[in-house]
């Protein structure tokens, strides 16, 4: 058989019903991991893919994939994992993995380092803003070229919330599925209880407002397992967990749509403080209350100043010699 014969046979096998008379479709999803620098993104990806490797610092944008078979003798489903390194310093690279071809099967995992509350809001705001703007541009184009897909994506945004949910009119869902992971819970757990409460309530509000799932994790196997449940749901369509943990003294675990503004309560500040804060939206009010307790690091501080070309992890003899020659 030539390569073409094999390719034709493979396509026919996929298109024709299998023994049960059902067509077997290969499920293909893509997930972009982003968040704080050194926040534990690589570790979470390796655990999801059950790989026993030691994680290395991510440079720029890295790609890997995982495969799972739903049943015996069926084609394996594929999940593409993209990871954006460098915190918020490489925002332009978000455009590369998310395109109009894969937007229907794309999801985002935002990993926030709970041990660095002063970087938390700035990191979250910048990354989600740039991603949302890019996705909205793709949707605007799709409205002209493929309106059915654009409509399907927009309707799906609201899927996590039942129509009779009391907050249906009050939230602004993220345009593609979103999971927020609070990492380094072991360090966070040592914080003062009032600080923990402010961070937890704020992240609950943000997740609920964006129609996202929220989970706190650390290197402990039990907590990583909870994060894996949410990621496997995005990557391979496994069942969503129905369990919920909203107790601020324990690690949070709240699948999308299972929280409510009445349960979260108002921002943790006195009425007189809230009265003085000028905010146009609930999100802005929560931001001001949060930043009063945890003054943000400026965006410039979060930019990566190290030259990745000098990183010993990426030595390449021939390239480095040419580079040195050019510099000279």
* pLDDT tens-digit map of 119-159: 889 889 999 999 999 999 988 998 888 888 888 888 887 77
Greater confidence (20 vs 34) lies with 34
User: Which pLDDT tens digit goes with each residue over 208-237?
Assistant: 999 888 989 888 777 888 888 888 888 887
Is pTM beyond 0.85 here? no
Mean pLDDT, range 22-35, rounded to an integer: 76
Residue with the larger pLDDT of the pair 155 and 306:
155
pLDDT in tens, 86-128: 777 788 888 888 888 888 889 999 999 998 999 889 889 999 9
Residues in the chain: 328
H or E segment at 193? Answer: helix 193-209
CA dist 66 → 14, 37, 183, 233 (Å): 20, 23, 22, 13
User: What is the average per-residue pLDDT within 71-85?
Assistant: 82
Give the list of residues 6+ apart from residue 110 with CB closer than 8 angstroms, or none.
34, 35, 124, 127, 128, 178, 179, 180, 181, 212
Q: What is the pLDDT of residues 193-205, one digit of tens each?
A: 888 899 999 999 9
Q: What is the mean pLDDT of the chain?
A: 82
Q: Which domains does the chain have, with CATH numbers?
A: 26-267 (3.40.50.300)
- Please compute the mean of the pLDDT values over residues 290-294 and round it to a whole number: 87
């Amino acid at each position: 058989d030539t390569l073409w014969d094999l390719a034709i046979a493979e396509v026919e096998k996929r298109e024709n019903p299998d023994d049960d008379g059902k067509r077997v479709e290969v499920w293909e999803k893509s997930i972009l991991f982003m968040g704080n620098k050194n926040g534990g993104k690589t570790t979470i990806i390796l655990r999801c893919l059950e790989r026993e490797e030691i994680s290395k610092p991510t440079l720029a944008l890295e790609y890997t994939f995982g495969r799972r078979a739903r049943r015996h003798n069926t084609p394996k489903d594929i999940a593409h994992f993209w990871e954006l390194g460098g915190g918020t310093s490489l925002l332009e690279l978000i455009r590369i993995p998310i395109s109009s071809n894969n937007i229907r099967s794309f999801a985002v995992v935002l990993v926030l380092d709970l041990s660095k509350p002063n970087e938390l809001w700035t990191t979250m705001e910048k990354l989600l803003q740039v991603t949302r703007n890019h996705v909205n541009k793709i949707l605007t184009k799709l409205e002209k070229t493929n309106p059915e897909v654009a409509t399907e994506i927009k309707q799906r945004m609201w899927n996590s919330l039942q129509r009779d949910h009391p907050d249906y009119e009050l939230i602004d869902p993220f345009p593609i599925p979103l999971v927020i992971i609070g990492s380094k819970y072991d360090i966070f757990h040592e914080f003062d209880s009032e600080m923990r409460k402010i961070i937890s309530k704020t992240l609950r509000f943000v997740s609920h407002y964006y129609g996202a799932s929220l989970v706190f994790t650390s290197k402990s196997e039990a907590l990583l397992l909870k994060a894996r449940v949410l990621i496997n749901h995005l990557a391979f369509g496994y069942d969503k967990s129905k369990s919920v943990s909203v107790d601020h003294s324990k690690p949070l675990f709240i699948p999308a749509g299972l929280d409510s503004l009445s349960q979260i309560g108002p921002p943790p500040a006195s009425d007189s403080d809230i009265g003085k804060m000028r905010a146009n939206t609930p999100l802005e009010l929560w931001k001001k209350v949060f930043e009063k307790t945890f003054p943000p690091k400026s965006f410039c501080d979060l930019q990566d100043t190290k030259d990745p070309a000098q990183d010993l992890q990426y030595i390449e003899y021939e390239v480095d010699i040419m580079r040195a020659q050019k510099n000279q």
